[in-house]
Amino acid sequence: MTVRIAVVDDHPVFRLGMSALLSTLDGIEVAVDASSAAEAAALVTGDVDVVLMDLELGDGSGVEATRELLARYPGLKVLMVTMHEDDDSIAASMRAGARGYLVKGAGPEEVERAVRAVAHGEVILGAAVASRALGMMAASRTLPPAVFPELTEREREVLDLIAAGHDNTTISRRLVLSPKTVRNHTSNILTKLGVADRSAAIVRARDAGLG
């Protein structure tokens, strides 16, 4: 069975190089070549098996694009490809539903192994990040489900970081969201909690055990 691939990356040299590499592999077909989140949304369909998704796209976050694609096509397998190896990026990618995480410095054999593994339903992490990811997941904590049920899961994550004293820039980096998206979430949080400003939200959040 042929594995149909979508390559989504805003760097043309990397995107074209990756497409060329994958096209030489037996049983793999590059079906979609997209340079942005908007193009991915328009071109990726349920006929695609695996999406190689850049973490940081020119018009948005690869994490958000992954979440939106999987909401439409739950059967998609997403392999996040990025320069970053930090724990926050790994966590955000996996929370969005990515099945794998590969650094852009990976060699051709590692790329092929990752694509085939993800296509067959495995979860794969590049060797450089696997041990840290396992430690991070073992140490991760979940927010109490009864806290602020009027908020979405993402809004509760943002509020937790606000309560911990982080500014929007840090929250944007940690959750791999655009600054505009963080501002929108913050505005929604203030409205839903019925508070006037960020300071009041922090008080409410800390009283509830967040932060």
* CATH code of the domain covering residue 46: 3.40.50.2300
Is the pTM value of this prediction over 0.85?
A: no
Burial 70-103 (b: 16+ CB within 10 A, else e): beeeeebbbbbbbebeebebbbbbbbbbbbbbbb
Q: Which of 15-29, 117-131, 181-195 has the lowest mean pLDDT?
A: 117-131
For residue 156, what are its two tokens? 């509760």
How many other CB atoms are found less than 10 A from the CB of residue 4? 17
For the cut 60, the answer to whether the pLDDT of residue 96 exceeds it is yes
Residues 67 and 131 in one domain: yes
The pLDDT of residue 139 is 45
In angstroms, rounded to a whole number, what is the distance separating the alpha carbons of residues 128 and 106? 10
For the cut 80, the answer to whether the pLDDT of residue 84 exceeds it is no
Confidence of residue 87 (pLDDT cuts 50, 70, 90): low
Identity of residue 109: E
Range of the domain at 158: 153-207
**Within-domain flag for 80:** yes
